[in-house]
Each structure stands twice: as C-alpha cells, then as structure tokens.
Amino acid sequence: INNVLRVLEEKNYSGLDIDFEYIYPSDRENYNNFLRKVVARLRPLGYSITTALAPKISADQEGILYEAHDYPVHGELADHVIIMTYEWGYTYSPPRAVAPINEVRRVLNYAVTAIPRQKIFMGIPNYGYNWTLPFEEGTAAQTISNVGAVDLAYNVGASISFDPIAQAPYFRYYDENGRQHEVWFEDARSILAKLTLANEFRVGGLSYWTINRYFPQNWLVLNSVYDVVKVL
C-alpha cells in the first residue's frame, strides 16, 4: 500500500483500480480485508478506488475466477466496480462471441442485487478472436482488433453475419493453407446492444478493455447515445 501511495503521488494519478484475479477461494476474506486497508489509507487523501470483478451470475458461483470476488463487499467499499463482462469467447475456448449480450444480462441481473447500480461500470471488449477450425482443446485463438476483423473479412471475401442471440458479428473463411477459421468481434451493432443494456439496467458507467485500440465505429455509436464529457 505504501508503494501504491508513492506511485499515485509521483504520477499525480486520481485513483487506483485493483484487479486481482484467480484468487484462491480460501483467500476471499483476506482479499476483502486488503481492500478495507487500501480504502482506509487512500480515501482520506482524496483518491478514488475502483475494483475489477469477474462476471458472476450468483453469489455462490463456483470456480477460481469467481469465489473470492465478494460482490457485496466490493460494492460497499469501492467508489466503482468494473464488472469484466467479456471473455466468454477467449484464447482457449471454442469459437463464440467475446461478450454475448444474453450472458452479460445474466451477470447484470445478479450484480444489481449486490452492488449499488450507480457504482457499476459494465465492461465492454474492444477486440475479437480468430479461431482455427475444427476447434481442438488446448489450441489458441489469435486476438484480432475489431477494425482488423472487418479488413480481414473484406480481404478474404467473407460475408459478415450477425448472431441475434449474442448480438455479435462473426464470419468464417479459409486461409491460404485450406484451413477454415471463425472470427468473432465487435461492431457498431454489438456496441449499441451493449449500451442499450447498460441503459436498461441504469448502471453508473462503462469500462472498455482496452480503450487504446483503434475502433472508430465505437465512438460514433457512443457519441450518438451519450453526451461524452472529458473530466480528467
């Protein structure tokens, strides 16, 4: 905590985001107590404290990603919580949307019962994945930018489809070696679906992972839905 304070002061940062993942369930209360200590030190000095939480659908959800993340405690202690509502489709998973809207809805259904709505920042992915087919356990998909996915579809002559349940775009193509690929990513339609869901649940805000990837469609949609004001 002393090191954190030193960096905050040296860099003139406004606050801290705590993102500890894969914590053993037995360390749940240790993590809660660590957060209490951080808040006790930083808040009197005017710093904001944000925590990142795995996308849980119930308080007792099992798994090393979920069990040590105590939604009610984080909701009580932190100024805001970022719920990482992405990575259903991930590097080592079978092909699917990174943030299917139906799965995100399940997470928010639980989150608003445990955390004040105004403290919740809903996570939005700014990337996609390119899988080689047929999927084999242990193989890795390649990360692809949303702009890169559209460029790839154009270059290989693939038609982009849109999944009505996941509310996400995808396409398939064959590479120069005859291998089939499946690509899932985000576009203006999927972003609008996520913003609409965030408005429906009246959450406090959004959090992109990550903000620094070029994605002009996002900003067009975001600015059509919200009046964005720079505060920092």
Active site residues per annotation = 21
Beta-bridged to residue 182, according to DSSP, are 131, 172
Amino acid identity of residue 7, one-letter, is V
- Count Cβ atoms below 10 Å from residue 118 Cβ, excluding itself: 10
CA distance 175 to 185: 18
State the Cα angle at 188 between 183 and 190, rounded to 5°.
60
Residue pair 135/89 in contact by the 8 Å Cβ criterion: no
Six token digits for residue 90 = 């991930």
